[in-house]
Amino acid sequence: MAKKVDWESFGWEIVDKVGRALDYWCHNVSGDTLLDCYSAHAELDLYDLAEEFAGWSISGITEKDLELLQKMPKKYYDKFNRYIGREIERVVRNLEKEMEEELELS
């Protein structure tokens, strides 16, 4: 018998994995400015973000995670997709604000 998935817990887990992977990517790997890196990811949906970092040891995102994301009921997927989108947008706004403040000081 198949184990019932706790979609809420899985959603928070995958959002955490994606967020940590994106942070690591933008801070340590990408070579773009932080603003450019986060901005480039702001329009991607949760599945695309997870797929981008899947199989990468630092992310912990597995093929099984991707399969579960595809099976996730729409109401949960939409909730977590909106959440990760808002978090990336928040980071972008904060980075833009920091840049503006730096320009004002110089």
Residue 67 has pLDDT above 90, yes or no: yes
Residue 1 has pLDDT above 60, yes or no: no
pLDDT in tens, 26-61: 999 999 999 999 999 999 999 999 999 998 888 899
Dist CA 43 CA 40 (whole Å): 7
Please report, for residues 17, 77, 88, the alpha-carbon distance to residue 41 in angstroms, rounded to integers and kept in the order given.
15, 18, 8
Does the pTM exceed 0.85? yes
Q: Could you state, in order of their start, the residue ranges of all structural domains in the chain? A: 7-101
CB 39 within 8 A of CB 26: no
Dist CA 84 CA 103 (whole Å): 29
Ordered DSSP codes for 28-77 = II--S-HHHHHHHHTT--HHHHHHHHTT-TTT---HHHHHHHHHS-HHHH
Q: Phi then psi for 18, rounded to 5 degrees? A: -65, -45
User: For position 2, what pLDDT does the model report?
Assistant: 56
